[in-house]
């Protein structure tokens, strides 16, 4: 459904963020996009949305080339950037003025999510706190029911109870026809929500795997295995070690996304060799 083919992009020709990057995203999944500061996460999302244009290659959604920004493409995508600017209208007026651009917009769903987020429908949007504004955009974006929903740092500005509501609402909004991509630095906010992990590093997509695939190959533990040769990566914490080791015994463990990300940044080839 969503395909990036041989994408080469940089804000200057001397310094590329991506070179010949290839990626396919499928509906029915929530992807978590991770990377170091400056790795190009936000830029990759903007390429997907057709807001910046690649030097080579293409991004496409349902056959539409993102850079063309055709009406059929725009109806199938909603993008929530990290920084948002809302007009001086109410949430009701915002929907009345904007929802008609999205044929599958569900008004009842929009107002239900606003209620769950404790956002008054009559409040003037640009007078709300940043966190409240984020909730309005998340509710509206979900209610568009576009095939692709992209969110850049959506939990910035949300308090702890709101983050819990965010995870619950996003999980409930996923359908077999929809793909959701979330970029974040707040790894702990997403590790119970995403089912596929994308990691961009040094101009490449070094990981595109489901959490189930990762758990089948790698065992995550707060203690070292008896066979030290099985250790892929380890990281000290206050009371011991967090370890990643070869999962020869097919023992179940919850994927420690933060530890896995550190391992990939440290030596992605060593980690991916155990996943391929």
Q: Which is nearest to 245 in space by CA: 265, 268, 219, 269?
A: 219
Phi, then psi, of 28 in degrees rounded to 5: 85, 10
Please provide the average confidence, as pLDDT, over all residues in the chain: 91
Contact 265, 273 (CB under 8 A): no
Contact 159, 115 (CB under 8 A): no
| pLDDT tens-place string over residues 64-120 | 999 999 999 999 999 999 999 999 999 999 999 999 999 999 999 999 999 999 999
Contact 59, 66 (CB under 8 A): yes
| pLDDT tens-place string over residues 221-274 | 887 777 777 889 988 877 778 899 998 878 889 999 999 999 999 988 889 888
Task: Quote the pLDDT of residue 224.
Answer: 73
**Distances from the Cα of 181 to the Cα of 46, 174, 220, 254, angstroms:** 12, 11, 25, 21
**How many angstroms separate the CA atoms of 121 and 74, rounded?**
26
Q: Residues for the chain: how many in total?
A: 276
Contact 25, 181 (CB under 8 A): yes
Which residue's structure tokens are 């790795």?
Answer: 39
Task: Quote the pLDDT of residue 78.
Answer: 97
User: How much of the chain, in percent, has pLDDT values that exceed 70?
Assistant: 100
Phi, then psi, of 235 in degrees rounded to 5: -145, 125
Task: Quote the pLDDT of residue 14.
Answer: 78
Show Cβ contacts of residue 14 under 8 Å, excluding neighbours closer than 6 positions.
Answer: none
Contact 183, 45 (CB under 8 A): yes
Buried residues in 153-185 as b, exposed as e (16+ CB within 10 A)? bbbebbeeebbebbbebbeebbeeebbbbbbbe
Whether this model's pTM surpasses 0.85:
yes
Number of other CB atoms surrounding residue 136 within 10 Å: 24
Confidence of residue 195 (pLDDT cuts 50, 70, 90): very high
Confidence of residue 33 (pLDDT cuts 50, 70, 90): very high
**DSSP SS3 for 121:** coil
**DSSP SS3 for 132:** helix
Confidence of residue 12 (pLDDT cuts 50, 70, 90): confident
């Amino acid at each position: 459904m969503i395909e990036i083919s041989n994408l080469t992009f940089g804000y200057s020709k001397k310094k590329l963020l991506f070179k010949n990057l290839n990626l396919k995203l499928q509906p029915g999944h929530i992807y978590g996009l991770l990377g170091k500061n400056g790795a190009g996460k936000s830029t990759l999302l903007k390429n997907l949305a057709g807001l910046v244009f690649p030097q080579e290659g293409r991004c496409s959604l349902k056959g539409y080339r993102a850079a063309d920004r055709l009406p059929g493409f725009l109806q199938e995508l909603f993008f929530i950037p990290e920084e948002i600017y809302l007009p001086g209208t109410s949430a009701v007026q915002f929907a009345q003025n904007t929802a008609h651009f999205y044929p599958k917009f569900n008004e009842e769903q929009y107002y239900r999510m606003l209620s769950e987020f404790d956002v008054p429908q009559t409040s003037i949007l640009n007078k709300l706190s940043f966190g409240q504004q984020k909730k309005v955009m998340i509710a509206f974006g979900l209610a568009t029911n576009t095939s692709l929903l992209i969110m850049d740092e959506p939990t910035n500005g949300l308090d702890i109870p709101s983050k819990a509501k965010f995870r619950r609402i996003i999980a409930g909004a996923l359908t077999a026809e929809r793909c959701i991509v979330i970029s974040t630095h707040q790894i702990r906010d997403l590790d119970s929500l995403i089912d596929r992990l994308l990691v961009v590093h040094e101009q490449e997509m070094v990981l595109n795997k489901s959490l189930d695939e990762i758990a089948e190959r790698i065992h995550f533990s707060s203690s070292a295995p008896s066979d030290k040769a099985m250790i892929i990566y380890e990281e000290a914490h206050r009371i011991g070690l967090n370890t990643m080791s070869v999962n020869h015994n097919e023992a179940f463990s919850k994927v420690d996304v933060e530890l896995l990300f550190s391992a990939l940044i440290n030596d992605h080839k060593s980690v991916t060799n155990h996943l391929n």
